[in-house]
Each structure stands twice: as C-alpha cells, then as structure tokens.
Amino acid sequence: MRWFLYLVAAGLLAYLLTGFTQVRPGERAVVRRFGKVVDISGPGLLVGLPYGMDRVDRVPVDLVRRVRVGFQPQADDMDETTPAGQLLTGDQNLVNVQVVVDYAVDSAHIEDYVVNVERSDGVIARTAEAVLAEWLAGRNVDEVLIAGKAELPAVLTRRVAALLRPYRLGVRIQGASVSYLFPPDEVKREFDQVSSAQTEIGTTVHKARQQAAGRLNAAEAEQDRLGKMTAAYVQEQLVGARAEAASFEKRLRQYQESRRTNPHYLAQIWWNEIGKVFARLRENGRIDLLDNHLGSDGLDITIAPPLPKKK
C-alpha cells in the first residue's frame, strides 16, 4: 500500500514539474491557458500551471525560416501537363522559375504566429506564387530572362509583405531571391541562341559607342587646337595691323609737318619707294640698265634677261 502512495506522489510531482519551462536565449515563450494567450516571456525559467491547463510554445524569434516556391529542376513531372513553377509571360511564352522567400517571427506579434504557425508556410508560398504570376504576366520573355534575377527579389519582398498583412501571420519577410529562372528544356537551345545573338549585338553596340566617343573626343581636341591657332593668328594679325596703323599715323604726322616747309615732300617719298622697288627688281635680275646693251651696232635689246635668282 505504501508503495502505491509513493507512486502517486511521484506521479503528482512529475505532473507539477510540467509547469516549469526553460526558455533559451533567442526564444520567446507564449503561454496559453485553456487556449487563451495569457503571457509572453523572454529567456529564463518560466513557472506556470501544469500541462493541460497551460500550454507553452517556445518560439525562436532569431531564426530565419525559408520557403521555396516554384519549379523543381530535379522533380519528375512527366505525368503533369504543366510542371509547378512553369508560368506564362506577357507575350505568351513559358518560363520555369523558382524563388526563395526568407521570413522570421515578428516578436511584436508573436501570439499571431503561434496561432497560425501550421499554415504560415503555405500562405506565404501561395502569396509568392501570385506575385510571381502577376510580375511575369506584365513583361515579355526577354525582359523576364534578362532582368528577372535583378528585379524580382525586391518586388517579391515588398509585395508579399503587403499581401500578407491582412492574414496576421505574425511573420516578417526578410528578403527573397531567384534560384532558378530559365526557359523550358524543349526551347532552351533556341533561347540560348537568341541570348547569344543579343549579347553579340550588345557588344557591337558598345564597341560602336566607344569608337564614336573616341572620334568625338578627337574632333573636340582638333576643334580646340584649331580654335587656339585661330585665336593666335587673329591676335598676331591684330598686333601687326595696329603696328602698321601706328606707323602710318606716325608717317602721316611727319608728312603733315614736313609739307609746310617742303611742298614736294610727297613726291620725294614716292620716288624713294619707287627706288626701293627698282633696287629689288634689279637684285632679282628682272631689269637692267640700257648701257649694258650698247654695242658697236647700237642698242641691242633682243637679249632675254637672266632668270630670277633662286632663294
């Protein structure tokens, strides 16, 4: 009889110990008493009512969870008409796409997460699929394949978070990534050829733009050089013209002063200049004195003058 009492006492003690829960760092404990949330505790030893009256859910709030949505490259979809993750683009082409959505528990709404934890992954996956279908339907296949991996993560993070808000899942979308984005295997070769041609076109356009930029720079440099030469020539001509004008004004003043005392001063200037011209002509062999052509028979002017001297 005594052993039975000991057994009952041990069982009662064990039952009472179910009211003690150790909450580890990085976790939050949600206490539900008869189904109603009555407390949310942080790390440490939690003392409550035994099992059956209290239910304690320990939730790791620092853990990042991951939901994979879309095409499965290794899956056997031979029996399916349209494999999962094979979606239509805006120009009625098919693409296979798989994305990953990362989320964590929102510690400010942890009780919502505890209540909806069983359906969280499914709701997030369906929401991500809806966002994918919407984004793909608004673009042609070239835009999807070229810009999808760069643009989709931000779109998924923003749109999925906004669409999940009314469901009160108690989660926070951390980010998203595109892990697979290719055309179906049946047409992948043709798409690769188109992509290669587009890459070649892009390379050619880039080279052409580089050449155009180089020629433009060379033309601008030549324009700058010619502009500087023109400015220097204009300045040189301007300085020369000013010097000639100053010399003319000086000689004009000299003429005006000398004319009062010498009425033939202008004729004297003219003969001086003519003398300089004849002197240069004679040096070049263009004219000669008639005395050099007098002979015993008289004046002989049939001899051609010598050719001008080469300088």
Local confidence band at 257 (pLDDT 50, 70, 90 cut-offs): confident
Res 76 pLDDT > 70: no
Q: What is the DSSP letter of 44?
A: E
Mean pLDDT of 41-57: 63
| Mean pLDDT along residues 171-175 | 92
* pLDDT on residue 268: 75
Q: Residue ranges of the domains in the chain?
A: 7-59, 65-75+83-183, 188-258, 262-311
Query: pLDDT of 192-247, one tens digit each?
Result: 777 788 788 888 999 999 999 999 999 999 999 999 999 999 999 999 999 999 99
Report the half-sphere exposure of 41 (CA within 13 A, side-chain side): 20
Question: For 139, which DSSP code?
Answer: S
CA–CA distances in Å: residue 80 to residues 61, 84, 229, 280: 38, 9, 78, 108
User: Residue 75 corresponds to which tokens in the numbers above?
Assistant: 């899956």
Other Cβ atoms within 10 Å of 168 Cβ, number: 14
Mean pLDDT of the chain: 79
Q: Please report, rounded to a whole number, the percentage of residues in the chain having pLDDT higher than 70.
A: 72
Helix H or strand E encompassing 291: none
> Amino acid identity of 239?
V
Is 12 a residue whose pLDDT tops 80? no
> Which one-letter amino acid corresponds to residue 170?
G
Q: Which residue has the tokens 């930029």?
A: 213
Q: What is the CATH number of domain 65-75+83-183?
A: 3.30.479.30
- DSSP count for the chain of H helices, then E strands: 5, 11
